[in-house]
Amino acid sequence: MRKADGAQKWGKWLALGLLLGLLTRPAMAQTAPTLLPLPAEARYGQGRLPLKAALKPLLPASVDAAVAGAVGRTIGRLSPATKTVGTATLQVRYGRVGRPEKFDEERYSLRVTPMGVSIDAPTSLGVLRALATLEQLPRPDKKGRYLPEVDIQDQPRFAWRGLLIDAARHFMPVAVIKRNLDGMAAVKLNVLHWHLTDDQGFRIESKVFPRLQTVGSTDGLFYTQAEVREVLAYAAARGIRVVPEFDMPSHTTSWIVAYPRLASNDSVYAPYTKWRTTNVAIDPTRETTYTFIDSLLTEMTALFPDPYFHAGGDENDGRNWRRTPRIVAWMQAHNMTKADGKTVDKHQLQTYFNRRVLALLQQHGKTMLGWDEILGPDLPKEVIIQSWRGKKGLNDAVKLGHPALLSSGYYLDLNLTAASSYLTDPLPPDTPLTPAEQKLVLGGEAAMWAEFADSTVLDSRIWPRAGAVAERLWSPQPATQSVADMYRRLNVLSAQLETLGLRHRRVPELLLKQLAGTGSVAPLRTLTEVLEPVKEYKRHFQGFDYTTATPLNRLADAAPAESEVARRFAVLVDSVVTVRPGAPGFLPPAPRQVALLRAQALRWQANDVLLQPLMAANPSLTEYAPLSARLAGVAGVVLARLTQLQAGQAPSAAWLAATRATLDAAQAPAGQAELAVVKAARKLAGL
Ligand code: ACM
């Protein structure tokens, strides 16, 4: 047996041989592990188990439905082209049915030999995780696909590994949620945080307060309770918990539109169809508010079996309360004032509200979660804090004795790189937390807010980047971080996810076809591949007026959240710019790297001529014409610089100045998208 110890070994191997990695990618794919997340320990052997025929399941007599179903799915996915059952077996043994809501063990061992596969785990949850690993093991050879001989011992680093899906801003139909649950299962994420209500929509049927969904959802789209149960069953069969979020006291315009008696001030509310935060909040001073919430929670806590329940609490600046004399008087009467004894303190009122909601949830046996804004010295310790505004929220929460989750750094909607999420660790080696405090860090959640993601483009905004978060939360903390190896495996995962039914690759291509109309899609693809939507919250602030009804079918929506073409371009650039011409130790760059870069730049340069007529003829593309022209400009810089590097020439001051101007201009966004290759071009140019 050859030992290959997950992240460390392969990380070093790749860090040493970046060029080798680029040159030998096809050969490496045969041997390097493709698992994501990496298991705690894996020893690979030389043997192979061919997958021509289906594996024969050997299950315990007492097998539960979730394991039986999962084994069936795995066998089908391993050998999709056959119904023939071979002699090789898939033997499954486990101690008992696992309870995910109790953070039951997910540990497993998985052995593949040329004779068959065996899985052993203390609980059924470990079996489900082992099957996810098994589905990522197949490799191609001349005869078809095979499983490599391997012995894996694995367990998660964090118990809570979530994905938040915002189904309130844009409604996400059941089929969309289900295929994303399949994606979650593939990377061992185990909590779906279902954000069901927000200003723009109340997306779940209440039988007690039906106006919530009929009036509160501006487009009339919501989950029936039967559909919710269907999703819960689908998730449970994959060992995934579902934690609902009913965001209060702010983010509640939809509630107030439906039931005006909840309002803090007496204005008339219309359905809210924009995206910016409203700071509208329900009235925490009236007893009728709690009667309402109690009835709603009685209904919803019965529907969702998980013992955890998210009550939101984010983004309430208190303006709604401070501007209502009745509420101000109530706060003064209850001594909710700052040190001067007069100015009312919104935070005290929010804490009062949280305590009331907490008490209601506790009556229903639930543990409450809330966003980091609700943290304060008077908040009872059992409330779990989810940190989104920064790492500080996580550390402050556990220092005050709260269990906590990290989401800051894992916001997929901000279109940041997979690497940035990957390098965000809830407990980095330099964590300021004591061992006892560290135990309170339950894990984290990737978050997919949906202002700029409808049900069509959602998958492409989540995947494959959520895989980077999944690995950070599952795999042991590595001694060395190998971002390059993470990306290699993320690409393998991306292909696997499409076979599971996710549409992150298909849908952008379909959008491009729509936009190209009768024209050729190829030049549009060449441009869009190196575009990314603008980062962070910039899409709100670039002069384009979005509403809930704005279609998300522009080039900014087809563009990848993180451009893989641009990333590879940057890797190639890194490989040729180690030493500048004129500096000691300069060597001309390797011809192969130069040839690849030159071919890429020539394609970009030629693309603009092909694309401009299409863009001029199609009004929905015209706004992106400047980006195509600027890409040609960047390509010109790349070509000139490669010639300089090959000749060992230092650039003239005039060339540098002109290049700086070209690249500065190329960085400007258009249509809420930007070129993703400018930074690497700058590096290549020596700027
Ligand atoms: C949040 O992103 N407002 C929790």
470-506 tens-digit pLDDT: 999 999 998 888 999 999 999 999 999 999 999 999 9
Q: Which ligand 1 atom is nearest residue 277's CA? A: 3
Ligand 1 midpoint to CA 554 (Å) = 25
CA dihedral 18, 20, 26, 27 (to 10 degrees): -130
Tens digits of per-residue pLDDT, 165-195? 999 999 999 999 999 999 999 999 999 999 9
Q: Which residue has the tokens 């039988």?
A: 207
- Shared domain for 638 and 559, answered yes or no, is yes
- Shared domain for 134 and 223, answered yes or no, is no
- Shared domain for 224 and 251, answered yes or no, is yes
- Shared domain for 144 and 181, answered yes or no, is no
Q: How far apart are CA 415 and CA 142, in angstroms?
A: 39
Asked if residues 453 and 404 have their Cβ atoms less than 8 Å apart, the reply is: no
Of 139, 154, 169, the residue at which a domain comes to its end is 154
- Residue 197 pairs with which residues in a beta bridge? 202
Asked if residues 251 and 312 have their Cβ atoms less than 8 Å apart, the reply is: yes
Q: How far apart are CA 64 and CA 370, in angstroms?
A: 34
Alpha helices in 187-261 (DSSP H): 211-214, 225-236, 253-258
Q: Which residue has the tokens 């804490």?
A: 351
Please give the pLDDT value at position 84: 94
- Shared domain for 537 and 610, answered yes or no, is yes
Please give the pLDDT value at position 481: 83
Of 110, 126, 154, the residue at which a domain comes to its end is 154
Please give the pLDDT value at position 581: 82
CA distances from 389 to 123, 196, 411 (A): 36, 21, 10
Query: Ligand 1 pocket: which of 195, 315, 540 to mutate (most atoms <8 Å of CB)?
Result: 315
Across all residues in the chain, what is the average pLDDT? 94
Length of the chain in terms of residues written: 687
Q: Which residues contact 623 (CB under 8 A, 6 or more apart)?
A: 554, 670, 671
Asked if residues 650 and 581 have their Cβ atoms less than 8 Å apart, the reply is: yes
Ligand 1 midpoint to CA 167 (Å) = 14
Ligand 1 midpoint to CA 440 (Å) = 21
CA angle 431, 433, 437 (to 5 degrees): 140
Asked if residues 680 and 637 have their Cβ atoms less than 8 Å apart, the reply is: no
Count Cβ atoms within 10 A of the Cβ of residue 432 and give its class: 0-12 exposed, 13-18 middle, 19 or more buried. Answer: exposed
Q: Which residues line ligand 1 at a C-beta cut-off of 6 Å?
A: 314-315, 371, 388
- What CATH number does residue 170 fall under? 3.20.20.80
Tens digits of per-residue pLDDT, 20-79? 434 334 433 346 789 999 999 999 999 999 999 999 999 999 999 999 999 999 999 999
| 494, part of any domain | no
- Shared domain for 203 and 277, answered yes or no, is yes
pTM (2 d.p.): 0.95
| 528, part of any domain | yes
| 564, part of any domain | yes
Please give the pLDDT value at position 606: 98
| 7, part of any domain | no
Of 154, 180, 215, the residue at which a domain comes to its end is 154
| 24, part of any domain | no
Q: How far apart are CA 453 and CA 459, in angstroms?
A: 9
What's the token pair of residue 81?
Answer: 């082209």
Sites in the chain below the pLDDT cut of 70: 1-31
| 18, part of any domain | no
Please give the pLDDT value at position 31: 61
| 174, part of any domain | yes
- Shared domain for 199 and 235, answered yes or no, is yes
Per the structure, how many domains does the chain have?
3
Q: How far apart are CA 160 and CA 531, in angstroms?
A: 34
- Shared domain for 442 and 516, answered yes or no, is no
- What CATH number does residue 131 fall under? 3.30.379.10
Asked if residues 87 and 50 have their Cβ atoms less than 8 Å apart, the reply is: no
> Whose C-alpha lies nearest to ligand 1, atom 1?
314
Q: Which residues contact 391 (CB under 8 A, 6 or more apart)?
A: 406, 408, 409
- Shared domain for 455 and 565, answered yes or no, is no
315 is catalytic: yes
Q: Which domain holds residue 531?
A: 505-685
Tens digits of per-residue pLDDT, 93-133? 999 999 999 999 999 999 999 999 999 999 999 999 999 99
Q: How far apart are CA 260 and CA 270, in angstroms?
A: 10
- Shared domain for 637 and 535, answered yes or no, is yes
| 559, part of any domain | yes
User: Exactly one of 41, 299, 315, 498 is catalytic; which is it?
Assistant: 315
- Shared domain for 663 and 556, answered yes or no, is yes
Asked if residues 71 and 89 have their Cβ atoms less than 8 Å apart, the reply is: no
Asked if residues 368 and 351 have their Cβ atoms less than 8 Å apart, the reply is: no
- Shared domain for 410 and 547, answered yes or no, is no
> Whose C-alpha lies nearest to ligand 1, atom 3?
314
Query: What DSSP line would sit under 411-428, residue for residue?
Result: BGGGT--HHHHHT--SS-
- Direct distance between the N- and C-terminal alpha carbons of the chain, in angstroms, rounded to an integer: 49
Alpha helices in 201-324 (DSSP H): 211-214, 225-236, 253-258, 287-303, 319-322
